[in-house]
Protein backbone atom coordinates (compact mmCIF):
# COMPACT_ATOMS: atom_id res chain seq x y z
CA UNK A 1 0.00 0.00 0.00
CA UNK A 2 1.36 3.41 -1.01
CA UNK A 3 0.26 5.88 1.67
CA UNK A 4 0.72 9.62 1.28
CA UNK A 5 0.66 11.94 4.28
CA UNK A 6 0.22 15.68 3.91
CA UNK A 7 -0.63 18.75 5.98
CA UNK A 8 -1.56 20.77 2.89
CA UNK A 9 -5.29 20.86 2.07
CA UNK A 10 -4.64 21.68 -1.60
CA UNK A 11 -2.28 18.72 -1.98
CA UNK A 12 -4.82 16.48 -0.26
CA UNK A 13 -7.55 17.64 -2.64
CA UNK A 14 -5.31 16.90 -5.62
CA UNK A 15 -4.47 13.41 -4.36
CA UNK A 16 -8.15 12.66 -3.80
CA UNK A 17 -9.11 14.06 -7.22
CA UNK A 18 -6.63 11.70 -8.90
CA UNK A 19 -8.12 8.57 -7.33
CA UNK A 20 -6.64 8.57 -3.86
CA UNK A 21 -8.67 7.17 -0.98
CA UNK A 22 -8.80 9.02 2.33
CA UNK A 23 -7.80 6.63 5.12
CA UNK A 24 -7.64 9.13 7.95
CA UNK A 25 -7.99 12.85 8.58
CA UNK A 26 -6.57 13.85 11.96
CA UNK A 27 -6.19 17.13 13.79
CA UNK A 28 -3.45 18.10 16.23
CA UNK A 29 -4.99 19.96 19.18
CA UNK A 30 -3.36 22.07 21.87
CA UNK A 31 -4.54 23.59 25.13
CA UNK A 32 -2.94 26.55 26.91
CA UNK A 33 -2.56 25.22 30.45
CA UNK A 34 -2.81 28.72 31.93
CA UNK A 35 -6.26 29.09 30.36
CA UNK A 36 -7.49 25.50 30.32
CA UNK A 37 -11.10 25.08 31.27
CA UNK A 38 -11.88 23.01 34.31
CA UNK A 39 -15.23 21.28 33.77
CA UNK A 40 -17.06 20.03 36.83
CA UNK A 41 -14.75 17.67 38.68
CA UNK A 42 -15.12 14.13 37.41
CA UNK A 43 -15.83 11.42 39.96
CA UNK A 44 -14.30 7.96 39.72
CA UNK A 45 -16.87 5.55 38.21
CA UNK A 46 -18.03 2.88 40.62
CA UNK A 47 -15.84 -0.23 40.70
CA UNK A 48 -12.81 1.50 39.14
CA UNK A 49 -9.57 2.83 40.61
CA UNK A 50 -7.12 5.47 39.40
CA UNK A 51 -3.46 4.54 39.74
CA UNK A 52 0.08 4.78 38.42
CA UNK A 53 0.92 3.90 34.84
CA UNK A 54 2.72 0.62 35.47
CA UNK A 55 1.27 -2.06 33.20
CA UNK A 56 3.08 -4.10 30.58
CA UNK A 57 2.84 -3.43 26.84
CA UNK A 58 0.80 -6.55 26.06
CA UNK A 59 -1.95 -5.68 28.57
CA UNK A 60 -2.04 -2.09 27.32
CA UNK A 61 -2.27 -3.23 23.70
CA UNK A 62 -5.15 -5.57 24.55
CA UNK A 63 -7.04 -2.83 26.42
CA UNK A 64 -6.43 -0.25 23.68
CA UNK A 65 -7.82 -2.73 21.13
CA UNK A 66 -10.96 -3.07 23.25
CA UNK A 67 -11.37 0.72 23.08
CA UNK A 68 -11.37 0.87 19.25
CA UNK A 69 -13.84 -1.77 18.06
CA UNK A 70 -15.15 -2.21 14.50
CA UNK A 71 -17.55 0.73 14.83
CA UNK A 72 -14.80 3.15 15.97
CA UNK A 73 -13.43 5.70 13.52
CA UNK A 74 -9.85 4.55 14.26
CA UNK A 75 -10.48 0.82 13.86
CA UNK A 76 -9.00 0.56 10.34
CA UNK A 77 -5.79 2.47 11.06
CA UNK A 78 -4.65 -0.34 13.37
CA UNK A 79 -4.96 -3.09 10.77
CA UNK A 80 -1.63 -4.89 10.45
CA UNK A 81 -0.05 -2.99 13.36
CA UNK A 82 1.66 -4.97 16.12
CA UNK A 83 0.11 -3.07 19.02
CA UNK A 84 2.24 -4.73 21.69
CA UNK A 85 5.40 -3.63 19.85
CA UNK A 86 3.94 -0.14 19.43
CA UNK A 87 3.28 0.12 23.17
CA UNK A 88 6.75 -1.21 24.03
CA UNK A 89 8.24 1.57 21.90
CA UNK A 90 6.07 4.19 23.60
CA UNK A 91 6.98 2.97 27.08
CA UNK A 92 10.68 2.90 26.16
CA UNK A 93 10.51 6.49 24.87
CA UNK A 94 11.42 5.49 21.33
CA UNK A 95 10.23 7.53 18.37
CA UNK A 96 9.09 11.14 18.11
CA UNK A 97 6.88 11.17 21.22
CA UNK A 98 9.84 11.09 23.62
CA UNK A 99 10.12 9.75 27.17
CA UNK A 100 7.07 8.99 29.32
CA UNK A 101 6.11 11.59 31.94
CA UNK A 102 5.02 9.45 34.87
CA UNK A 103 3.14 11.98 37.00
CA UNK A 104 0.52 13.00 34.40
CA UNK A 105 0.23 9.44 32.99
CA UNK A 106 -2.39 7.28 34.70
CA UNK A 107 -4.37 4.05 34.42
CA UNK A 108 -7.93 3.33 35.49
CA UNK A 109 -8.33 -0.28 36.56
CA UNK A 110 -11.14 -2.59 37.49
CA UNK A 111 -11.01 -4.18 40.94
CA UNK A 112 -9.37 -7.28 39.43
CA UNK A 113 -6.58 -5.14 37.95
CA UNK A 114 -7.81 -5.18 34.36
CA UNK A 115 -7.25 -1.90 32.50
CA UNK A 116 -10.41 0.13 31.89
CA UNK A 117 -8.81 3.38 30.63
CA UNK A 118 -5.41 5.02 30.26
CA UNK A 119 -3.67 8.28 29.45
CA UNK A 120 0.01 8.29 28.49
CA UNK A 121 1.79 11.66 28.48
CA UNK A 122 5.26 12.03 27.00
CA UNK A 123 7.85 14.80 26.63
CA UNK A 124 7.71 15.59 22.92
CA UNK A 125 10.92 17.15 21.64
CA UNK A 126 10.77 20.42 19.65
CA UNK A 127 9.98 20.04 15.95
CA UNK A 128 9.11 22.36 13.08
CA UNK A 129 5.47 22.30 14.23
CA UNK A 130 5.70 21.74 18.02
CA UNK A 131 7.70 23.93 20.41
CA UNK A 132 8.35 20.97 22.70
CA UNK A 133 6.64 19.90 25.90
CA UNK A 134 4.03 17.39 27.06
CA UNK A 135 2.05 15.48 24.47
CA UNK A 136 -0.62 12.79 24.82
CA UNK A 137 0.24 10.03 22.32
CA UNK A 138 -2.42 7.74 23.81
CA UNK A 139 -5.66 8.17 25.72
CA UNK A 140 -8.40 5.54 25.60
CA UNK A 141 -11.37 4.10 27.47
CA UNK A 142 -12.35 0.46 26.96
CA UNK A 143 -15.69 0.36 25.12
CA UNK A 144 -17.79 -1.04 27.98
CA UNK A 145 -16.68 1.85 30.23
CA UNK A 146 -17.13 4.67 27.75
CA UNK A 147 -19.56 7.40 28.74
CA UNK A 148 -18.95 6.96 32.49
CA UNK A 149 -16.47 9.80 33.04
CA UNK A 150 -13.19 7.89 32.89
CA UNK A 151 -11.82 9.92 29.99
CA UNK A 152 -12.63 13.20 31.71
CA UNK A 153 -11.00 12.02 34.92
CA UNK A 154 -7.79 11.11 33.07
CA UNK A 155 -7.69 14.41 31.16
CA UNK A 156 -8.34 16.37 34.33
CA UNK A 157 -5.42 14.62 36.03
CA UNK A 158 -3.05 15.06 33.06
CA UNK A 159 -3.79 18.78 32.66
CA UNK A 160 -3.41 19.41 36.38
CA UNK A 161 -0.13 17.49 36.66
CA UNK A 162 1.39 19.26 33.64
CA UNK A 163 0.30 22.68 34.93
CA UNK A 164 1.79 21.96 38.38
CA UNK A 165 5.06 21.00 36.68
CA UNK A 166 5.19 24.44 35.08
CA UNK A 167 4.32 23.38 31.53
CA UNK A 168 2.54 25.93 29.36
CA UNK A 169 0.77 23.71 26.82
CA UNK A 170 -0.39 20.15 26.23
CA UNK A 171 -1.10 18.59 22.83
CA UNK A 172 -2.70 15.52 21.31
CA UNK A 173 -3.96 14.15 17.98
CA UNK A 174 -7.55 13.09 17.29
CA UNK A 175 -9.15 11.66 14.17
CA UNK A 176 -12.01 13.65 12.71
CA UNK A 177 -15.22 11.84 13.58
CA UNK A 178 -13.94 10.60 16.95
CA UNK A 179 -16.59 11.53 19.56
CA UNK A 180 -13.81 12.02 22.17
CA UNK A 181 -13.05 15.32 20.45
CA UNK A 182 -16.06 16.89 22.18
CA UNK A 183 -14.49 16.06 25.54
CA UNK A 184 -11.15 17.57 24.52
CA UNK A 185 -12.85 20.77 23.37
CA UNK A 186 -14.70 21.07 26.70
CA UNK A 187 -11.26 21.26 28.35
CA UNK A 188 -10.19 23.99 25.91
CA UNK A 189 -8.22 22.02 23.30
CA UNK A 190 -8.19 23.74 19.90
CA UNK A 191 -6.88 22.54 16.49
CA UNK A 192 -3.67 23.95 15.04
CA UNK A 193 -2.74 21.45 12.29
CA UNK A 194 -4.46 18.80 10.15
CA UNK A 195 -2.99 15.68 8.57
CA UNK A 196 -4.47 13.75 5.63
CA UNK A 197 -3.52 10.09 5.21
CA UNK A 198 -4.37 9.14 1.64
CA UNK A 199 -3.94 5.76 -0.03
CA UNK A 200 -2.68 6.28 -3.58
CA UNK A 201 -4.38 4.30 -6.38
pLDDT in tens, 110-136: 999 999 999 999 999 999 999 999 999
Work out the pLDDT band at 1, boundaries 50, 70, 90: low
Whether the predicted pLDDT of 182 surpasses 60: yes
The helix or strand, by DSSP H or E, that contains position 136, with its residue range, turns out to be strand 133-141
- Residue 41: per-residue pLDDT: 63
pLDDT in tens, 13-66: 999 999 999 988 999 999 999 987 766 566 677 788 999 998 789 999 999 999
Superfamily of domain 3-199: Gcn5-related N-acetyltransferase (GNAT) (3.40.630.30)
Give Cα separations from 192 to 51, 122, 129, 145, 183 (angstroms).
31, 19, 9, 30, 17
Residue from 7, 14, 6, 9 nearest 201 by CA: 14
For the chain, counts of helices (H) and of strands (E):
5, 8
Burial class (CB in 10 A: 0-12, 13-18, 19+), 133: buried
Residue from 55, 53, 60, 54 nearest 161 by CA: 53
pTM of the predicted model, to two decimals? 0.90
- Residue 77: per-residue pLDDT: 80
- Residue 38: per-residue pLDDT: 67
Amino acid sequence: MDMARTHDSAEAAELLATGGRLRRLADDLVVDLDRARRPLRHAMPSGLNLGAFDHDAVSLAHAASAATGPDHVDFQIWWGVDRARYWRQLLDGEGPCGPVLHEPSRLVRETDGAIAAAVLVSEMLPTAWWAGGPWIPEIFVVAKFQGRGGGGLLLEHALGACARAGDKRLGLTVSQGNPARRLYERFGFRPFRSTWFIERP
